[in-house]
Chain A
Amino acid sequence: MPLIKNGARLQDPWFAVATEEELDRSGPMLVPLALWQEHRDRLVDRVGPIGIRLASHESPAAIAGDLERFDLVALEFPKFTDGRAFSYARLLRERHGFTGEIRAVGHVLRDQIAFLLRCGFDAFDLDERAAAGWQAATGAFSAWYQPAADADAPIPARRRYAVPARASVAVIRSEPVQPPAPEPAACAANWAY
């Protein structure tokens, strides 16, 4: 499955850990919540990046105190209709100030990508077809009505500060999508509803 981060295709540098034995490997390591909780003491001091993978019933509240240790939070979509991770991503960005990678893994539709970006996801484990539709999926709308975790000014703010509507629908962005702003607090101040 292609990995797309900030709009560009990447080789995935992360190793997805499935068993306890694999915790001894070196390099960037993506660890399921249960393994993290069980082996937290030894993993905290590990040399090398650690990512955490949360199932859709596992709230980021469970790891809020450890977020500084993680470079990646992977949120699972067991099926595309399970929308819990949309809230989790916003909470990670806006409540907990997480600035690392938030990756959508599992069953994600191309037509959800724009919403995911707005909620703070910046990386996507997509199937080939969804990846091929990336540009159309992210370029359909030039502005949105509500504030979220992205840096774009929502329509109410554009009205207040007379920011014109951006690109028209006919213009599909050719450059990679910019990552969400790293400082959600700053967005709130800039784009007060």
Chain B
Amino acid sequence: MYRYDEFDHTFVTQRVAQFREQVARRIAGELTEDEFKPLRLMNGLYLQLHAYMLRVAIPYGTLSSRQLRQLGYIARRYDRGYGHFTTRQNIQFNWPTLKDVPDILADLAAVEMHAIQTSGNCIRNTTADATAGVAADEVADSRIYCEIIRQWSTLHPEFSFLPRKFKIAVTGSGRDRAVTAAHDIGLRLKLDADGNPGFEVLVGGGQGRTPILAVTIREFLPERHLLSYLEAILRVYNQLGRRDNIYKARIKILVRETGRDEFARLVEEEWAHIRDGELRLPDGEIERIQAYFAPPAYQALDDACPELAVQRAGNRAFDAWVGSNVEAHKRPGYAVVTISLKPHGGIPGDASAEQMEAVADLADRYGFGEIRVTYKQNLLLPDIRKGDLFALWQGLVAAGLATANAHRVTDIIACPGLDYCNLANARAIPVAQAISERFADPERERAIGNVTVNISGCINACAHHHVANIGILGVDKKGKEFYQVTLGGAADENAAIGDIVGPAFDEDRIADAVETVVDVYLAERRGADEPFIDTYRRIGLKPFKEKLYAAH
């Protein structure tokens, strides 16, 4: 993992002191709420429906056990004993008081964390595939580049007042687990003919009321040019992005209105001026950062693990959990474990202080003390010996964290919705809970297989419903909550935006509608190994639509 040096420590400490002074000015009445707003937003502090919400950055979703324990401590000490993990690999605390926030930031700084740029019209926390460094199919480790981007983008003097927020994602493998096509900039690591790492550069992806997939403006960018090329893109956007209409201010609109080729030309023209300037990464810099992410002390193990087979055969619940929540690791004898934060009927992405502490303990005991936060609002233990899986699972069962539903229909992404958020038009959490309960039977869920279900409580699409296989959007119609369904979206390397199926469903019928969609899929699929998205692409919207609206 990355560790702060004296410069990083000094920087976050000074940031805390600066915000403490700003909060004092606010509490003393020297700043109005309007004046305070941009200052608090740049430190991740939102004013929600009921209280302040603090969003803490978890850079590229990587946590040490010490950091996760500290998040648990903060949840207990300053909040109501829980936190909420987000699709952008951050954590949100929903009930801090304003006067406590500087202390929370100081507690975060003590474990090398901060809340810088988790809000505001600036470069947000850079996200990565949660399996970076351990995925069997990885080309290069995205964390290295994310850390380089994190430092460059932190309090960037030129890009802190952009037309709109700006999100960068990096994926290290051909299987895109970072949803790069839905980001303002998506970077896909690849190798050139000589085996040197670089990036395919995508720009202009985004969700919201105008969902657009990013387009490639450069097939291969050598790694040493990473920052100068990002600076060129941001500089073009900062000057030309629309500022007259908040809904047209994202870079996706600029790219679409300018055209891909012309936008790429503008970027290349700007880049030509700066590519060999101060931002060019010097020899040794990438290696310096890479050293922080050196592989842990893996043991030499056989990949085959006979005891695991025996344990699976002897325990159906464990067997099902391994089947859904355990993935291949690049090292023999190791596995990657998803810890589901989606208990059936629970709130997606929430974890209690006790659960955070339990996961930290398990990471220390069975892993190398490292935890990841995933795009799907789950946690992940990257390095577990196959022979330890059963003991780990028992520990997770004790903590209420052993739900065997990773990638399944109840592994739902949901935003906080109208229960917390003042932008929302409808509640998202109760709908997620209802659908989760509907599919709670583990046998049935396993039979359905992998499918993504995302629920957003408003058109801002924080839960990425546009790129879900089954997307649900809450809308307000004359004071009543309705839910619009989209089908066929995808968030992987074959990203797609879902098709709207028809008129929205009310709260009482939305779980039925999802069940109907699943039933059509089960009836139409060519065998259990054809996942939902493949069936949808083969048969299209019509059969689903007919069934959904047959009774009306």
- Report which A residues bind B (CB closer than 8 A): 59, 80-84, 86-88, 90, 95, 109, 111-112, 114-116, 118-119, 136, 140-148, 155-156, 158-160, 165, 168-169, 187-188, 191-193
Contact = CB atoms under 8 A, between A and B. Distances in A.
Closest 9 CB pairs of A and B: A83-B161, A118-B157, A147-B278, A115-B157, A169-B14, A140-B18, A86-B158, A155-B7, A145-B151
A145 B155 contact: yes
A148 B158 contact: yes
Contacts of A168: 10
B238 interface: yes
6 contacts: A111-B22, A140-B18, A143-B10, A146-B157, A147-B278, A155-B11
A55 B162 CA distance: 17
B122 to A, nearest CB: 9
Given A83-B162, A118-B157, A191 B278 contact: yes
Interface residues of B, number: 41
Contacts of B35: 109
Interface stretch (B76-84, B86-94, B179-187, B279-287): B279-287
Contacts of A119: 157-158
Given A155-B151, A159-B7, A191-B278, A81 B273 contact: no
Nearest to B16: A169
Contacts of B21: 136
Contacts of B53: none
Given A111-B22, A140-B14, A145-B154, A83 B7 contact: no
A87 B227 contact: no
B6 interface: yes
A95 B38 contact: no
A193 B273 contact: no
Contacts of B154: 145-146
B156 interface: yes
Given A145-B11, A160-B282, A192-B282, 11 more contacts: A59-B239, A83-B161, A86-B158, A86-B159, A90-B235, A140-B17, A145-B151, A146-B152, A159-B5, A159-B7, A193-B285
B243 interface: yes
Contacts of A88: 239
Nearest to B39: A111
Contact of B279 (A83, A140, A193): A193
Contacts of A188: 277-278
Interface in B249-285: 273, 277-282, 285
